[in-house]
């Protein structure tokens, strides 16, 4: 059934997958499922500060810059103009995945000639800027993403197309670029300019067959009625404009990033999938209202194996935040929701959902922009008994009564209530025994038709189990 389900939900046009929280919601696994029915899989923002892990036939593939659809031989994969690309990291990532069995990638990978370049210099600057901030550091991945986007905004950055113009001009600009930073950081910033220029001249020839005008490419694919899957990176609450600023990334991580980072017209977007975890996590600094700095947080972290794919850092863990989810939905307009890692909560005798914020006893009408205010909020929770059943080993058509009767899923979907549309379908997907690929299975029709589990805010609910 699930094959028909995803084929029906991958209409011609663009389908955008967006992280609804602070990242690490399981977008990679979900994109992997949708990519089986997609013609094009494209990334539109970020760099190698993001990470997805996809397991195929017991082999684990880690993707940071590469679109995770690259493991599907029928997919054309696009690195869009909205990304910042560290070429040494990209080539190392390709080589690493080749050793794990990735083949035929050269004929299926396209790099935008408008994408900006991340130099090793940017990565060094990233670390130095974090060091300067001391205790108030953002907690970046130190991959040079912020400094590269800063250079882009200051109009001093370098794009992929610059590698194929007048090389003397490129070399002069690069030397001036480095000199300006050395004036600020002095001896702390060490770089062999000649070696760096020589290295990029070689890498430019290596990637030359992959470089194309992706704006024209995307328009042709859409005009031909192709199914385009836009793979989001990071998440809404890390968006430069709408996230918990300044503890954010440097790109547009919302649905709008598909337009600015790929040149896709808004009218071409047919569906927006929000991927949300059954609890909340984040890495780095910044306010986190529902964070649990106690045994509950540690239990979630251990069961869910909450460690970053890119950095290996422990993720901060807390209860599901419906206030944050309403805010995320208001920005992105989700019409389909993918709820992940629900089974991580199987053993909890009591489960909480944050349903409101208060500051000094006064209820807040919306998610606050001021991080000082967010740090002071008192979260109002709704508490209810856990289902305490291993739901991941059950067939989809035999949803345990304790979960069916729990208010948890209705609370999650009610956060998308402004759309005022009942759920048409509710699917549960989980791994096949002995194989980490996702099993295709039937709908739980009894759950879908249950009055208590009508989903007021979205058209479709999909549940992905962790185990």
Q: Is beta strand 269-277 parallel, antiparallel or unpaired with respect to 227-231?
A: unpaired
Q: Are 335 and 459 in contact (CB under 8 A)?
A: yes
Residue 120 appears among annotated catalytic residues = no
Of the candidates 52, 72, 116, 122, the residue annotated as catalytic is 52
Q: Are 300 and 306 in contact (CB under 8 A)?
A: yes
Q: Is the C-alpha dihedral spanning 171, 177, 183, 189 positive or negative? A: negative
Q: Tokens 């590469």 appear where?
A: 66
Residue 32 appears among annotated catalytic residues = no
Of the candidates 24, 126, 335, 343, the residue annotated as catalytic is 24
Longest CA span, the chain: 70
Q: Are 434 and 7 in contact (CB under 8 A)?
A: no
The values of phi and psi at residue 337, to 5°, are: -125, 135
Q: Is beta strand 350-359 parallel, antiparallel or unpaired with respect to 378-385?
A: antiparallel
- CA dist 425 and 411 (Å) reads 17
| Structure tokens belonging to residue 190 | 């060490």
Q: Are 467 and 392 in contact (CB under 8 A)?
A: yes
Q: Catalytic amino acids?
A: 24, 52
């Amino acid at each position: 059934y699930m094959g028909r389900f995803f084929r029906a939900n991958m209409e011609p046009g663009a389908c955008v997958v967006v992280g609804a929280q602070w990242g690490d919601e399981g977008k990679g696994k979900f994109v992997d499922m949708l990519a089986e029915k997609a013609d094009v899989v494209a990334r539109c923002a970020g760099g190698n500060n993001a990470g997805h892990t996809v397991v195929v036939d017991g082999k684990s593939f880690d993707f940071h810059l590469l679109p995770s659809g690259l493991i599907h031989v029928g997919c054309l994969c696009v690195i869009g103009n909205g990304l910042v690309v560290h070429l040494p990291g990209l080539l190392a990532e390709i080589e690493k995945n080749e050793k794990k069995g990735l083949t035929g990638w050269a004929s299926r990978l396209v790099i935008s000639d408008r994408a900006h370049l991340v130099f090793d210099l940017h990565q060094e600057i990233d670390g130095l800027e974090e060091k300067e901030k001391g205790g108030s550091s953002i907690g970046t991945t130190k991959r040079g993403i912020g400094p590269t986007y800063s250079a882009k905004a200051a109009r001093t950055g370098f794009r992929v197309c610059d590698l194929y113009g007048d090389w003397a001009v490129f070399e002069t600009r690069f030397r001036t670029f480095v000199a300006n930073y050395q004036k600020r950081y002095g001896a702390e910033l060490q770089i062999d300019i000649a070696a760096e220029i020589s290295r990029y001249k070689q890498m430019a020839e290596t990637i030359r067959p992959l470089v194309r005008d992706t704006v024209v490419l995307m328009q042709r694919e859409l005009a031909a009625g192709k199914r385009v899957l836009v793979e989001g990176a990071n998440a809404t609450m890390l968006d430069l404009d709408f996230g918990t600023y300044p503890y954010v990334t440097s790109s547009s991580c919302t649905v709008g990033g598909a337009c600015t980072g790929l040149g896709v017209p808004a009218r071409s977007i047919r569906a927006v999938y929000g991927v949300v975890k059954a609890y909340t996590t984040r890495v780095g600094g910044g306010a986190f209202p529902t964070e649990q700095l106690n045994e509950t947080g540690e239990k979630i972290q251990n069961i869910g194996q909450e460690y970053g794919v890119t950095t290996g850092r422990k993720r901060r863990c807390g209860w599901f935040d419906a206030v944050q989810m309403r805010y995320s939905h208001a920005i992105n307009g989700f019409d389909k929701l993918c709820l992940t890692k629900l089974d991580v909560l199987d053993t909890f005798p009591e489960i909480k959902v944050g349903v409101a914020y208060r500051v000094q006893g006064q209820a807040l009408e919306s998610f606050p922009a001021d991080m000082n205010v967010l740090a002071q909020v008192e979260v109002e929770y709704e508490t209810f008994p856990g289902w305490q059943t291993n739901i991941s080993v059950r067939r989809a058509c035999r949803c345990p009564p304790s979960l069916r009767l729990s208010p948890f899923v209705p609370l999650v979907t009610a956060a998308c209530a402004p759309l005022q549309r009942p759920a048409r379908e509710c699917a549960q997907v989980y791994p096949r025994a002995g194989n980490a690929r996702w099993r295709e299975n039937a709908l739980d029709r009894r759950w879908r038709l249950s009055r208590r589990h009508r989903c007021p805010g979205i058209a479709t609910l999909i549940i992905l189990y962790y185990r």
